[in-house]
Chain A
Amino acid sequence: MTQSHYSDAPASSIPARHTLSILVDNEPGVLARVAGLFSGRGYNIESLTVSETEHEKHVSRLTIVTTGTAMVIEQIKHQLDRLIPVHRVIDLTVQGDAIERELALVKVTGRGEQRSEALRIAAAFGARTLDATLNSFVFELTGASEDIERFVRVMAELGIAEVSRTGIAAMSRGAEAL
C-alpha cells in the first residue's frame, strides 16, 4: 500500500493562481454570497469582477482570481458550486491559456515637459486619452494586468493623481463556450 493520500506532493502544496468564471442567477445578494464564502472560509480574492451578461435570463458572470494549493482550489470550486444560485463554475486556468484583460483609468497631473512625456508614454502603451485639461490627463488602458501595472509604474514617475481598475475579465480561447 502506498501512502498516496497523505504524501502531500510538494507540487500540490505550492499555492497557484487560478482564474474562475462563475455563472450565477442575477438575484439580490448573490455577490454577497460569493464574497462571504471567500471571507468565511478564509480564501483569497485577488480580483473580482461582476456584471450581468444575459439580461433576459438574469444571468451574471463573475470572474474571480484567487490563489491556493490544489486542494484549496478544488474546495473553492466545490463550495461555489453548491451555492444555490450558481449555474456553473469554470476554472479557466485548468482549461489552458485563457484571455485575461482589465481596464484601467489613470489620471496624471503635471505641467510642461511632463505633459508631453505622459502623452508619449500613453501612445507607446496604446492608451486612449479620455480627458485633457491644462494640467491633467485621464488615460484609458485595456490590457493584461502586467501591462497595466507597467503603465501605472511609469506614469507614477510623472505624477499620478488617481488610478481606477476594473479587475480581470476572462474567457477561454477557441470555439468552446461556457
Chain B
Amino acid sequence: MSETMSGAEMVIKAMQDQGVEHIFGYPGGAVLPIYDAMFHQDKVKHILVRHEQGAVHAAEGYARSSGKVGCVLVTSGPGATNAITGLTDALLDSIPLVCITGQVPTHLIGSDAFQECDTVGITRHCTKHNYLVRSIEDLPRILHEAFYVAANGRPGPVVVDIPKDVQFAMGQYEKPQSNQHKTYRPQMDGDISKIRAAVELMANAKKPVFYSGGGVINSGDEASALLRELVHLTGYPITSTLMGLGAYPAADPQWLGMLGMHGTYEANMAMHDCDVMICIGARFDDRITGRLNAFSPNSKKIHVDIDPSSINKNVRVDIGIVGDCASVLKDMLTEWKALSKKPNVKEIAPWLKEIETWKAKDCLAYRASKTTIKPQYAIERLYELTKDKDPYITTEVGQHQMWAAQYFRFESPNRWMTSGGLGTMGYGLPAAIGTQMAHRDSLVIDIAGEASILMNMQEMSTAVQYRLPVKIFILNNEYMGMVRQWQELLHGSRYSESYSESLPDFVKLAEAYGGKGIRCSDPAKLDDAIREMIDFPGPVIFDCLVEKMENCFPMIPSGKAHNEMILNDLSDDAGVEIGNIIDQKGKALV
C-alpha cells in the first residue's frame, strides 16, 4: 500500500489524494522542496498571490463558494505571520482551510534562525487545530488528519508546520484511511427527544420566527434545501445573519431580510417580539443580539448548532440541540410531518399581519438623487443588472458591505463571501480571486470601499496573471465610511483620520495592473457603465463615486435593543441627526 517518497512529495500526494485542485501560496526558503515537488506534477494547480494574507482570503473565498477545503502554502517566519489575519478570519467565520507552512530545520528550531517564528505557538489561538511535524513518520497521518479536522464538525482553519529537513526526509506515504479521528468525533445527529420537544414548541407558537446563519451554508446544499422545505411547511417568517445570506431565497415572501445591527426593521422587530425563536446554525453574535438583557425578552429559544460551546454562550436557550444542520433539519421535518395535531394556520395570522405593518415601514427606503449616485442605488442597479447571471459577490468591510447585504438579494447559498466575524478590510479582492478560481465562468464581483480595497490591492496583479475576470465595484465616498458614521454617532462628528486622503486614480491603477478601469459619478450613466464592466472579459476596477455623507440605516446603536433601531429620515436632506443617540454607557460597548 505504502510508497516511498520525500516529505515534500507527500504534501503534494496527500493533496491529490484529498481531491485538492487549487492551492494558493507564495514560495520562500523553507518551502522550496514542496514547490519543487509541485513542479513535477499538474494535478494540483498553484495560484501565486502577491501577499500571504491574500492567499488565505483567496482560499477562504474558494472554500466558501465551492464547499471544498481551501488550501494555502506559505513559507516560514514572515510567510506564516502574514497569514495570521486570514487564519483568524477563517476561524471566526468557520471556513475549512488547510494551511501548510514551512519551518526552519528541526535542529534549528528555537535558535532564532533566519525566517524562524514559533508558528504553532502563534497560530494556536487562531486555528481550529495546528501541528508541528517533527518526524517524517508522522507526516502522512497529520496531512490527512488536517483535512479531516478542517472539514468536519464546525469547520475551521488547520495549520501544518513542516520543518525543511522533514520535507527532504524519505518515508512511507500512506493513503487516507478511515474517516474517523482518535479523539475528535463531532456529533452529527441531534438528540431526537430534544428535536421532538423543539417541534412541539414550534407547533404551538403564536409568534414564531426562524433565525438562520452561516452554519446552514457550511452544512451544505442539502441543509439549505431542508431549511426551505421546513420554513415553507410551517409558514413561519425567516431572517438570517450576514453569514447566512442565500441559504433562504430573498425573493420568497416569508423572507424578512437580514437581522442585526444593520438588519431590516421587520427582521429585528420580529426577533424582539417573537414567542418562539428557532435558531439554526447561528451563534447569537453581539452584532445580532444588540443589548443582551433586552434581546428577544419574551421568547422560548431553540438553538441548533454543531458546536456545543456555541449553545448558551451568549444567550440562554430553552432547547439546545447539538448536531449538523442538515441532519437536525431532516429530523425536524419528519417530526413536523408526524405531528398528530397540525398547527392551525390561523393561530399565527395576527403575527404575520403585525410583521406586514413593520414591512410597511419600508426601512430600506432612501432619498434618491438625480445628481449624485446614492450608494444604495448603486447596489440596487448592480443587482438588477447582474441577477440573471447568478453572480458571486464578495465584499470588503464597512458601509459598502452592509449596503451590499441589504440591497443585493441572494437566492442561493455559497454566492455571498464576506468577512463577518473578524471584519477584515482587504478580504474581498483575494476572496473574489479564490471564488473565480472555483467558478471560472461565473460573474464574480467584489463590492468594495475605496479604503478597504487598498488593503490588498496588490492581488489585482494575481487576477491579471491568471486571467481571472473579477470585477471590483468600489463605492467610493472618500471616507472610511463606517468609521465616519461612528464618529458622527460617538465623537461629535470629529472625523479623526477617517478621510481617504491622496487616493490613487483607480482607473489608471487598473490600467497599470493590466486591467480595465471605469469611473462613474452620474446616476444617469450608471447602468451603461455597469454593463460595460460586466461585458469586459478581464478584471475591472469600477470607481463608483457615490454620495460622501450617506449613512447606513437601519442601525441598532450599541447598548440598545432590537426595538430601538434608528431608521433613515427621508424628510430631511441632512438625514438623521445621530450625534446624541448613544448614551455614555452605550459608548463603552462599541
Contacts and interface: CB of A to CB of B under 8 A. Distances in A.
A3 B296 CA distance: 10
Given A29-B132, A78-B309, A4 B316 contact: yes
B124 interface: yes
B301 A82 contact: no
A5 B125 contact: no
A1 B300 CA distance: 8
B361 interface: no
A84 B183 contact: yes
A33 B124 contact: yes
A75 B132 contact: no
Interface string B133-177: 010000000000000010001100000000000000000000000
A149 interface: no
A39 B288 CA distance: 26
Nearest to B276: A1
Contact of A75 (B134, B153, B298, B309): B309
Interface in B259-303: 275, 293, 295, 297-301
Nearest to A23: B183
A174 interface: no
Interface residues of B, number: 33
Given A36-B124, A36-B125, A40-B125, A82 B182 contact: no
B124 A84 contact: no
Contacts of A112: none
A87 B308 CA distance: 15
Interface in A34-89: 36, 40, 71, 74-75, 78-79, 81-87
B298 A84 contact: no
Contact of A87 (B183, B311, B312): B183
A32 B121 CA distance: 8
Contacts of A28: 132, 134
Contact of B301 (A5, A83, A86): A5
A86 B186 CA distance: 12
Given A1-B298, A71-B316, A82-B154, 17 more contacts: A1-B299, A3-B298, A5-B316, A8-B316, A25-B182, A29-B120, A29-B132, A40-B125, A71-B312, A75-B309, A78-B307, A78-B308, A78-B311, A81-B308, A82-B153, A82-B308, A83-B129
Interface of B: 120-121, 124-125, 128-129, 132, 134, 149, 153-154, 181-184, 275, 293, 295, 297-301, 307-309, 311-313, 315-318
